[in-house]
Structure 1
Amino acid sequence: MLDFGGRLKQRRDELELTQDEVAAGVKKLVPELSFNRVTLSNIENGTQKSVKDRILLALVKVLKCSPDWLVYGEGDKELATFGNNVSTGPKVEQKCPLISWVQAGVFTSIQEFPEQDYSYYPCPTRCGPRTYILEVRGDSMSPRFEEGDLIYVDPDQVEADHGKFVIAQLEDSPEATFKQLQVMDGRKLLKALNPDYPPELKYIQINGNCRLVGTVIAHVRPI
C-alpha cells in the first residue's frame, strides 16, 4: 500500500509532471515558504513524512487531487468538478485555534475562540472538536520538539497513559507545561526530553499538585 510520498509520486506521474514543475507550482502558491525539488524528492522517497498545512493545500491544488486521498489514501482521488473548470476547494478535517499557554492552563468546556481574534490552522490528523494549538517554547522537549514548533492538543484526552505527550497544569504555575508522562511503579512523573537537563528539572513528580489538561495528537515543524 502506498504511503503519502508514494501517492504523491503516483499522481505526479499520472499528470506527467516533473518534480521541478510541481515544486514551481507550489512555490507560486506559497512563495513565502521554503519548498523546492529536493523537498519534493524527500517526500516521495519517504525521507520526509509530513509537510506544513499550507504546502499540503498547495500540493493538492497543483496535483488536482483530493487531500483525503493524498494524505490518508481514502475516498476518491479526483476532486469533484462543477461547471466550467471550477473545482471544490481542499477539504480540511478541522481548523484549530492557536492559543496561549495561560489559556491552555485554564481551558474550560465552554471556552470559545472567535476566528476574528485568533489564528486558525488545519489539523493534519483527525482530532476532537475542541482541539487547540500551542507554540512550543524553550528547549525542555528538544530535540524532538523545538521552539517554534506547533503542537495540536485535544483537551478531551486526559487519560494517564505512560509515554504520552501531555499538557499539564501545576497548581503553583499560572501557565500549562508540556512534558512526557511517565508511569513507573505506581508513580506518575512529568519528563523533559532534553538530555542535558539536570535531574531536578528533568522529572517532576505528580503528587496531587497537578492535573492533565490535554494530550498532544499532532506535531508540525515549520520548514
Structure 2
Amino acid sequence: MELGDRFKYRREVLGLTQEEVAKEVSRLLTSDKFNRVTVSNIELGNQQSMKDRVLLAVIQILKCNAEWLVNGKGSIEKIADSNVELVPIQGLMCPVISWEQAGNFTSIEHLSEPDEYSFYPSPVKSGPNTYILTVRGDSMSPKFEEGDLIYVDPNQIEAISGKYIIAAISEYQEVTFKQLQILDNQKLLKAINPDYPPELKYLKINNNCQIIGTVVAHVKPL
C-alpha cells in the first residue's frame, strides 16, 4: 500500500469520513487549509507528502504510528511503554452478560442470581445499567478482536452516525455489534473489517432492527 492507501485504510477502520478527518486536523492546526479535498488528494495519491505539523496532527486523529503511515513500516498503532493502560475508575461495577441476554436486558437490578456474574469497573462515566459483552467473530476486526470486552450503555439508543452500537434484529432473532452509518438519511450497520466482501459489509436498518445500546468503552484483556 502507498501513503494514500494506508491513510484511507486507517480512516475507514476508525469509521471516519473524509470530512470528519479534515475537520479534526484543521482544528488541531487552527487552519482551514486542510480540508476534505486535501484528504481526497492524499488518498488518491495526488499528494504524497505532508508537512511536519500536518503529519503530527494527522497521526493524532488517525491514532496511528507516523512511520507506518509514511513508510509502511512498524506497527500501525503507537506502542505504549507498557502493555497496561491506567484508566480512572468511576466506581460503577458492570456485569458480563451473554449476547442472548443483551437482547432482553432491562436493568442490573433485575439480574437473576447476581452472584453468578463477573463484574468489572467501568473505565468511563456511563449509565447505571451499563453491561459488558465479549466480542465474538471478526466482523469488527482489527479494532475489536474476538475476546475483547465492550461496555454497552442501554440508555444510549440515539442513532448517531459513526457510533459503535448493539442492535437487535428480530428477523434473525439475534443481537449484533456494528458501526452505525447514516448515508442520505439511510441507516446502515457496518462491519469495519476491511477484508469483508461488500455484500456483507453493510446491513440496512429497517423496522425489524432496533438499537438497544451504544458501546462506551473497549478493553483488551491481557
The alignment yields a C-alpha RMSD, in angstroms, of: 2.1
User: Aligned runs of 1:9-88 on 2, under 5 Å?
Assistant: 42-43=81-82, 51=85, 71=87
Tell me the SS of whatever aligns to 1:163.
Answer: coil
Aligned match of 2:221: 222
2:179 is aligned to: 180
Q: 5 Å matches for 1:128-143?
A: 128-143=127-142
Deviations 1:17-68 (A, max 9, x none): xxxxxxxxxxxxxxxxxxxxxxxx714xxxx6x63xxxx5xxxxxxxxxxxx
Counterpart for residue 119 of structure 2? 120
Shift of 1:175: 2.6
Alignment partner of 1:103 is 2:101: yes
Provide the TM-score with structure 2 as the length reference. 0.60
Structure 2 gaps, min length 5: 1-79
Per the alignment, in what secondary structure is the counterpart of residue 102 of structure 1? helix
Please give the secondary structure, in 1, of the residue aligned with 2:151.
strand
Alpha-carbon distance change, 153 to 162 in structure 1, aligned in 2, over 3 angstroms: same
Contact 1:93/1:125 (8 A) holds in 2? no
AA at the equivalent of 1:152: Y
The one-letter code matched in structure 2 to 1:93 is: G
Cα separation, 2, equivalents of 1:181 and 1:195: 16
Q: Higher mean Cα deviation, 121-130 or 146-155? A: 121-130
The one-letter code matched in structure 1 to 2:105 is F
TM-score, normalised to structure 1, is: 0.60
Q: Give, as a single letter, the amino acid of the residue that structure 2 aligns with 1:119.
A: S
Inter-partner Cα distance in structure 2 for 1:172 and 1:206: 11
Q: 1:182 to 1:112 in 2, by over 3 A?
A: same
Provide the secondary structure at the position in 1 that maps to 2:101: helix
Are 2:141 and 2:193, in contact at CA under 8 Å, matched by a contact in 1? Answer: yes
Structure 1 distance, partners of 2:188, 2:198, is 12
CA distance in 2, matches of 1:156, 1:213: 8
How many residue pairs were aligned? 143
Larger radius of gyration: 1
Deviation, 1:92, is 5.0
Q: For residues 108-136 of structure 1, give each alpha carbon's deviation from its aligned partner in whole angstroms, at most 9, with x where no partner exists.
A: 25732543111111111111100000000
Distance in 2 of aligned mates of 1:132 and 1:205: 26
Residue type of the alignment partner of 2:177: F
Distance in 1 between the 2:208 and 2:121 partners?
Answer: 34
Q: Note the C-alpha offset of 1:174.
A: 2.9
- What letter corresponds to residue 214 of structure 1 in structure 2? G
**Which position in structure 2 is the counterpart of 1:68?**
none
